[in-house]
Structure 1
Amino acid sequence: MTIQLYELVGSDSARPFSPHCWKVVMALAHKGLAWESRYVPFTEIPKIEDGSGIVPVIRDGDATVSDSFAIALHLERTRPDGPSLFGGPGGEAMARFVEAWCQTQIHAIIGKAAIMDVHDALAPDDQAFFRNSREARFGMPLEETRERGLSELGKLNARLEPVRAMLRHQPFIGGASPLFSDYILFGAFQWARIIMREPLLGHDDPVLDWFETCLDLHGGIGRAVPAAA
């Protein structure tokens, strides 16, 4: 049975932008698995069959699994014959670190800087939900959150320096070939690429070279959605 993947979209279902959903898209492609995407806006997420209230969610036969990392573990354990997403327990532990680092250091900036771009990409009902929920989360209007995020974009350069140093020795976070750790950081920059007009990386940045390489992986699936115009 083909895996069903629930992905977040805005008013244009051809432009899924969730960083967490992109992690799973890349993981499925890495494993060489077939899947069908079911696109859902913010206000439809609570109606997804597993009741978790988050995306991504997959239905894999009788199993439903939510959360990108849990989905990656599920794919790794149920399809052991396919290419590994972790390369063993050490790679799984490394991916846990990359996930925590990315959430606290990278998403924390992009999420604020891109907040109005996300809002503007949504249908009206979802815009109202998004504004109410995010203004409650950040304690300020979306417009002010965006300005604070844009003022912090310069911090990304320093926060990415460990990745640049690593890429001097190997082409991927996973080493000679990509692992789920790569897809975690890829998801963050794919989110920004699809939703934001402001470039986050300089043209001579090794992280940009790595990201461009990731866009071409698995038949160029990352490039299937164009960048924000």
Structure 2
Amino acid sequence: MRQLFELCGEDRDMRFSPYCWRARLALLHKGLEYDGVPIRFLEKQPIESADAKTVPVLNDGGTWVKDSFSIAVYLEDTYPDNPLFGGEIAKAQAEVLNVWLNKSVLLGIFPMIVADIHKKLDAKNAAYFRETREKFLGCTLEEAQAKRAVTLAGFRKALSPLRAGLRSTPFLSREQPAWLDYALMGTFMWANMVSDIELLEADDNLNAWQERMLDLFDGHCRSELEAV
């Protein structure tokens, strides 16, 4: 049995982690069936076998893999059909892009939705989230999110390298989506699941790309958003 351990909110059907969404989309791309296992921030016991403290964690028939990028690499090496990277050079370049996405895109979004995330958690996990994230931010969750209107303009500007990659192709990976598309979409799904923020303007070519991503896999991402 293949299992993907995913972060959930108070509602266990609401899976919102950007890293878990990246892993989920990689599994869907590979055409691999899996059972999603929801766990909350403070529920560490289910992933002890992976020596992990955070999700996503993949249990592939007894082989445990943690970290979304490591999961993507494992899936590529173990199930070579439907490539995620398209070769060792591309995989190495993706590792650099992974760092950029985390620092520029994911951390750019985080303060704009942090109070919204808090609202999706049960009381015990919400208290943990507030304590740890306010220490990281250096202010309250509400103070961080209150700067959204100013922060959003700079965030949108920082996405220009991604827009350039979509000038003549439907996906960041050219004619068909692959790892970079899923890594970015997983990050956007995080915000879309927990917040009503409009990360992209209507005429942004990234918005058109996002619509195409929402339609993939029989509209999987779109249906998950509609269920929230």
- Which TM-score tier does this pair reach, normalised by the shorter chain? over 0.9
CA distance in 2, matches of 1:91, 1:214: 21
* TM-score (norm: length of structure 2): 0.94
Cα RMSD, aligned residues only: 1.6
CA distance in 2, matches of 1:208, 1:90: 29
CA distance in 1, matches of 2:36, 2:220: 13
CA distance in 1, matches of 2:208, 2:93: 22
Specify the alignment match of 1:109 in structure 2. 108
Matches within 5 A, 1:97-136: 97-136=96-135
Specify the alignment match of 1:172 in structure 2. 171
Specify the alignment match of 1:155 in structure 2. 154
Matches within 5 A, 1:63-212: 63-80=63-80, 82-212=81-211
User: How many equivalent pairs are there?
Assistant: 227
Asked whether the 8 Å contact 1:110–1:149 carries over to 2, the reply is: no
Query: Once the 2 structures are TM-superposed, how far is the Cα of residue 62 of structure 1 from its aligned partner?
Result: 2.0
Asked whether the 8 Å contact 1:194–1:228 carries over to 2, the reply is: no
- What's the secondary structure of 2:82's corresponding residue? coil
User: Per-residue displacement from partner, 1:14-44 (whole Å, max 9, x unpaired)?
Assistant: 2211110000111000000000000011111
Query: Once the 2 structures are TM-superposed, how far is the Cα of residue 224 of structure 1 from its aligned partner?
Result: 2.4
Query: Once the 2 structures are TM-superposed, how far is the Cα of residue 74 of structure 1 from its aligned partner?
Result: 0.6
Specify the alignment match of 1:9 in structure 2. 8
Amino acid at match of 1:13: R
User: Per-residue displacement from partner, 1:30-88 (whole Å, max 9, x unpaired)?
Assistant: 000000000011111365232310100011112111000000111111112x2001011
Matched, 1:30 2:24: no
Unaligned runs of 5+ in 1: none
Q: Structure 2 vs 1, CA of residues 119 and 46 (structure 1 numbering), >3 Å: closer, same or farther?
A: farther
- What's the secondary structure of 1:53's corresponding residue? coil
Asked whether the 8 Å contact 2:26–2:182 carries over to 1, the reply is: yes
Amino acid at match of 1:216: D
Asked whether the 8 Å contact 2:109–2:155 carries over to 1, the reply is: no
Matched, 1:223 2:214: no
**Identical aligned residues as a percent:** 37
Unaligned runs of 5+ in 2: none
